[in-house]
Amino acid sequence: MMYSDLFSSLDGMRSSVFWLMPLLIMLTLWTSKSWLSSVQSASWNMLYGIWGDKKLNRFNFLRLMMGSLFLFLLINNLLGLTPYNYTFTSNLFLVSAIAVMFWLMLLASGCLYNVMKTVAHLAPSGAPMILLPFLVLIETTSIMIRPLTLTVRMIANISAGHIVLGLMANASTALLSKFFVLGLISSMIAYTMFEFFVSVIQAYIFTLLITLYNNEHPCSYSLNQEESI
């Protein structure tokens, strides 16, 4: 008996049903109005959590990009849960490219808008002078590793779930003649539901963190001053 490789779900060549899945999802949602309304309500609530930030009012293009990014990550995460389908959000180059692109966009926009305010953010107000060099170093390091943390968080959570599902599938195949295989299959179903929620949460967190990084933009400082007045 042959078993699938542990990392087969992370193989980009195993994506035979990728182009068929959007059609199947649309047909499923079309035949179930209650499910469609529930999905629409949950999606709009999450998108409102991203779009509802007043600091995005001066970045209309970013508001649209964040919504598109959330839907892109969400759909790819959910499609990765289907059998014989490749999870594109577990690809290091794809996720890192998205993270670096948005990070560079916000950083370059801040420097072009007001480079002095951007640099001033590295030194917290009210900090002792003797600690300023260390605080600037720590703040600079935290900003530089943001693309790395975004990438690792997404890939680690998505890949780990798929590997565990692969282990459980291989175990259920090996124990197919045993009685307690039903319990293992039930555990797989429960874990798949758990992975469903993880996929939604990871797409939301990835997008929300980029939105929070926008709060450090110099234009956001001006908005905060106007609100305080």
Segment 40-59, tens digit of pLDDT: 566 666 665 555 555 555 56
216 has pLDDT over 50? yes
Look at residue 145 and tell me whether its pLDDT is greater than 90: yes
197 compared with 5, residue with greater pLDDT:
197
Q: In the predicted model, what is the mean pLDDT of residues 207-220?
A: 80
| Cα-based angle 131, 136, 137 (whole degrees, multiple of 5) | 100
Whether residue 66 is contained in a domain is answered as: yes
> Does 71 score more than 50 pLDDT?
yes
58 in a domain, yes or no?
yes
Is position 134 within any domain? yes
Under the banding of pLDDT at 50, 70 and 90, the label for residue 150 is very high
Sign of the CA dihedral with 123 first, then 114, 106, and 226 last: positive
The tally of domains found in the chain comes to 1
Q: Decide if 206 is inside a domain.
A: yes
Average pLDDT, the chain: 73
Q: Is residue 72 part of a domain?
A: yes
Residue 2 counted as domain residue: no
Whether the CB-CB separation of 18 and 84 falls below 8 Å is answered with: no
Residues near 97 by beta carbon (within 8 Å), at least 6 away in sequence: none
Asked if residue 131 belongs to a domain, the reply is yes
Which residues constitute the domain of residue 197?
8-228
Which pLDDT score, from 0 to 100, does residue 1 have?
41
User: 117 and 165 in contact (C-beta within 8 Å)?
Assistant: no
pTM exceeding the 0.85 threshold for the entire prediction = no
Beta strand spans in 36-172 (E): none
pLDDT tens digits for range 192-206: 788 888 888 898 899
Q: Is position 69 within any domain? A: yes
Joined together, the tokens standing for residue 99 give 């993270």
84: left (phi over 0), alpha (psi -120 to 50) or beta: left
Higher-scoring residue by pLDDT: 6, 153: 153
What is the rounded CA–CA span in Å between residue 186 and residue 194? 12
Of 212, 208, 219, nearest in space to 67 by CA? 208
